[in-house]
Structure 1
């Protein structure tokens, strides 16, 4: 009985380790994907608006809401709250999701890459600190 319990705990421990490792790998892959964004956006402590707004605290934020950034009328009027599904749709083709947006980006079409980028972005709170 002890051998079965030990095996179960070992299996559970490995599953937890694998899930944690997979998550870290996703964030790491998302950070590499972030390189496609960093020419126009910043994230993290001290992030500033560039060609595009900073992306701290993106998820849960309303479109057109970053103070000090000059949004297009289309973005201001989009009435979207960013969540994972909306971001995934947007990042595939920004101009299809928000016609008239100033964002000029070909998009990221790969769902795995979008999920990885989302995991990376979700680390950063409104203050730019990693959670």
Structure 2
């Protein structure tokens, strides 16, 4: 009985202490489907379009894709792309980086999570 209580206590501790910002894994297959609306501006094959290529976006500083002309807001940003920063940017680009040229937002949290999960699956160009 004591062993069960210790296990439950330990499990409860993990659930309480675990950071709220940790993202659950979204659905990469659904994210790929949702990304189709992003593909008009963003490539996943290494070339820049009206928006920068998104291969290897995680851990990259915002404004760092070679050959893409960013707005001053993005170029001068200290943002590094993580689950949290991409989620914030996709939910409201101009709220996070006023002056960005990206005007499209992704309203639904589950859609953002799925797109972010999909982006994590992309190989480097």
Q: Scaled by the length of structure 1, what TM-score is found?
A: 0.73
Tell me which stretches of 4 or more aligned residues in structure 1 moved more than 6 Å.
none
Residues 71-102 of structure 1: per-residue CA shift (max 9 Å, x gap): 11110111100000010010011111100001
- In the alignment, structure 1 segments of 5+ residues that lack a partner are 1-22
The CA deviation at 1:69 is: 0.3
Structure 2, unaligned runs of 5 or more? 1-24
Work out the CA distance in 2 between the residues paired with 1:49 and 1:42.
6
Root-mean-square deviation over aligned CA pairs? 1.4
TM-score, L = length of structure 2: 0.76
Match of 2:113 among 98, 112, 115: 115
- What's the CA shift for 1:39? 0.5
Deviation at 1:113, TM superposition (A): 1.0
More helix by share: 1
- Per-residue deviation, 1:111: 1.1
